[in-house]
Amino acid sequence: MLTRREFTTALIAAPYALRAQQGPLRARIKVDTERAIGDIDPLIYGNFIEHLGRCIDGGVFEEGSKLSDANGYRLDVLEAAKKLNVTILRWPGGNFVSNYHWKDGIGPRDRRPRRLEMAWGTVETNRFGTHEFLQYAETMGTEPYICVNLGTGTWTDAQQWVEYVSSSQDTAMTRLRKQNGRQEPWKVTYWGLGNEMDGPWQMGHRSADDYGKYALEAAKLMKWTDPKIKLIAAGSSHFGQGIDWIGWNRTVLEHLKRHIDYLAIHRYVGNPDNDYYDFLTSSMDLDERIRTTEGVINAAMSGEPRSRRIYIAWDEWNVWYRARGPQQRGRRILEERYNLEDALVVATFLNSFVNHAHIIKMANMAQLVNVIAPMFTNDTGMFLQTIYYPLALFANNTKGRALKLFVDSPTYESRRFGPAPYLDASAGYEDGMLVLNVVNRHRDQEVETEILTQDKQFAGPVDVSEVNGADIKDENDFGSTKVQTATRSARADNRTLRYKFPPHSYTMLKAKLT
């Protein structure tokens, strides 16, 4: 028999195991289609490719490979990207962009200069440049998003890039574009004003005040060149101890609030302490930063015309911690391998984007292939990582209006955030179709859930898609798929659907309401 001291020690050390002995876990979710948060912008399902490791060279683009087309695009990667329904693709960086001079990447490929690449310690061939990226975006059916160099680059560099890409007038830049094979402009809408300029690791790193002043002049020239473009400012990416990330955003907004359309935020999370339950609360940190950033934006826009809106673009995010360290140099770097718990965290991040649909209007997972990515290739093929599956389910199904759900879930005590609900949920509603996304964070127990509709009734069977595996550490690999999407159906009774969400699972329920 345990002594009182031994029992207390066990209670502190293993609260989750003790909870599992307390009987079935039960929850309720209430859905009201009139309680809308905002419209879900399709651009929250974006991605990102950077000249980093094997993301572009050896991933998206592999000249001479039997798996590539005549342009050098890997067809297996392109097909998987299309199925992922990537809505917007950010390029060329990332840290890479802060020393990238776009004119190096135009003209005949064999004549382009080879440059030392300072961000990731390689040689950049420049064989994949503006034309290759924009043609790839067209082939993929995605919106292009170009980030300009505000590190070592000039205002004129940024302005002329917009002119080269988007102008219809007869100028030296448009003649150069036509000479290089593109007669009509691409009319790119989305342009980033530099990358992570708050980070001391960035080439051309500046203070918030200096960045705000510099980016302002670039923004003016770029919008005078094409008034229809939308600009994304470099918001916070540096959240270390003692870092005034809120002050950075506040200062940048004071300089740029009349010219930008989005404020970019970056966040990567990980599980270095192997604490499953704490790792699964990572999206709660995201929620806090969204609410804080929204408040800073609202304060900055006080007194401005009500029609003038600035949204949040979460244009870098992912799980990233294993393939991280001081030696991030060369071609085989940042090749993170993902397991089931990583896929669950990705699903909770997507839930957060949907649950803040009124202010989050763009998001770009970093990155598309090989480098902290949902796809992984070698010379002969590829496999889909665990995180691919929740991304695909959200991007292809969760649309329309985001609904404000009532979720009554049992909780556990997390190390960083205190009480955390086992069930994390979001919902989209469009043309009578309800899509409910639910992550059960409990490692060992299912959660019996009563899902109630307040103003509609279920009509017909409910489609169920579940991402799960035998163990939270299960990974996929070449020739081995341990985590993927399984489908089945469920039945509802008028306004009620009773469903048992399995342990460590992400489930999407799709149902017609009348």
Give the sign of the dihedral formed by CA 453, CA 401, CA 289, CA 81: positive
Report which DSSP code applies to 502.
Answer: P
Number of Cβ atoms within 10 Å of the Cβ of 179: 10
C-beta separation of 74 from 32 below 8 A: no
Judged on CB neighbours under 10 Å (0-12, 13-18, 19+), 135 is middle
Measure the CA–CA gap between 124 and 121, rounded to whole angstroms.
Answer: 9
Is 217 part of the annotated catalytic residue set? no
Q: Are strands 458-468 and 484-490 parallel, antiparallel or unpaired?
A: antiparallel
Neighbours of 506 (CB within 10 A): 29
In contact, 368 and 48? CB cutoff 8 Å: yes
CA nearest 364: which of 355, 373, 356?
373
CB 336 within 8 Å of CB 320: yes
3-state secondary structure 175-197: HHHHHCCCCCCCCCCEEEECCCC
Exposed (0-12), middle (13-18) or buried (19+): which is 331, by Cβ within 10 Å? middle
Q: Work out the widest C-alpha separation in the chain, in whole angstroms.
A: 88
Rounded Cα distance between 269 and 345, Å, is 9
Handedness of CA 202, 206, 208, 213 (dihedral sign): negative
Note whether 504 and 442 are within 8 A (CB): yes
196 is catalytic: yes
Return d(Cα 40, Cα 17) in angstroms, integer: 38
| CA contacts within 13 A on the Cβ side of 50 | 29
Catalytic residue among 62, 294, 316, 341: 316
Decide if 120 contacts 96 (C-beta within 8 A): yes
Instruction: Find the catalytic residue in 196, 294, 336, 475.
Output: 196
Query: What is the CB neighbour count within 10 angstroms for residue 340?
Result: 25
Q: Would you name the residues annotated as active-site residues? A: 196, 316
